[in-house]
Amino acid sequence: MSFTVYPALDIREGRVVRLLQGDYAQQTTYGDDPLPRANAFAAAGARWMHLVDLDAARAGGYTLAPLLSAIARESGLNVQTGGGIRRRDDVARLLDAGAARVVVGSVSVREPDTVIGWLQEFGAERLTIALDARQADDGRWLLPVHGWTETADVTLDVLAQRYAQAGMRHLLCTDIARDGMLSGPNIGLYRHLSALLPGVAVQASGGVRSAADVAEAKAVGCGGAILGKALLEGRMTLQEALAC
């Protein structure tokens, strides 16, 4: 399985930002220049990027279609994007706007039958299933929803296997405890998921802080890694990550 580095931009009110563990009250702003940053990713050698609409993730209704189209057109990057995807028409609209792959998050937990239908309709290469997880005291990986304020009845392992059996090819899994913390990715989690889901490209997300972390995610079988805060703060270069 090939390995993909995804430099990431999270957008809120037009600005490039990062949240701490998904908390909108703990935001760091890095500028209002997402398109130049995307072009710089391409110039550095990236083939893909990850684009998140944080406004839509909370309120629904994806707002970045013009930016998405501009990035795809100007940079030539394959854009994986999501935020606020609730309905089938949301997926279709993003694909029409230039997305190479649409990230489906909360609705993947709340309405798996619906999302499995989308996998069948649009094709498994056009969707990334995003399952954000938090580990319970008993070791199980739970799936918080509604802004990580409630917990679904189903566990990460059970739901991920269900999607794999339905044809899922791309799984983005964020360890919520490490999101934005620069504490290193949860390699044990990604080793587990890669073994549990053969043939699925698991994207490591949350805590990546160095090229060594990227290399370790690749070594345990991940299909990719999301690079956010560490890139924005210059803790590693995109070229270093791409060389892993």
pLDDT tens-digit profile of 20-76? 888 889 999 999 999 999 999 999 999 999 999 999 988 889 999 999 999 999 999
Does residue 10 have an active-site annotation? yes
Contact of 5 with 48, CB cutoff 8 Å: yes
pLDDT over threshold 80, residue 129? yes
Whole-model pTM: value is 0.96
Contact of 236 with 44, CB cutoff 8 Å: no
Choose among 169, 136, 137, 178: nearest CA to 155.
136
Contact of 57 with 76, CB cutoff 8 Å: no
* CA 172 to mean position of chain CA atoms: 5
Q: Residue 173, class by beta-carbon neighbours within 10 Å (0-12 exposed, 13-18 middle, 19+ buried)?
A: buried
Out of 55, 90, 132, 213, the active site residue is 132
C-alpha span between 143 and 194 (Å, rounded)? 18
**Which of these ranges, 71-85, 132-146, 221-235, has the smallest mean pLDDT?**
132-146
Helix extents (H) in the chain: 34-43, 54-59, 65-75, 88-97, 106-110, 112-122, 156-165, 187-196, 211-219, 229-232, 238-242
Report the half-sphere exposure of 58 (CA within 13 A, side-chain side). Answer: 11
Mind listing the pLDDT tens digit for each residue in 215-234? 999 999 999 999 999 999 99
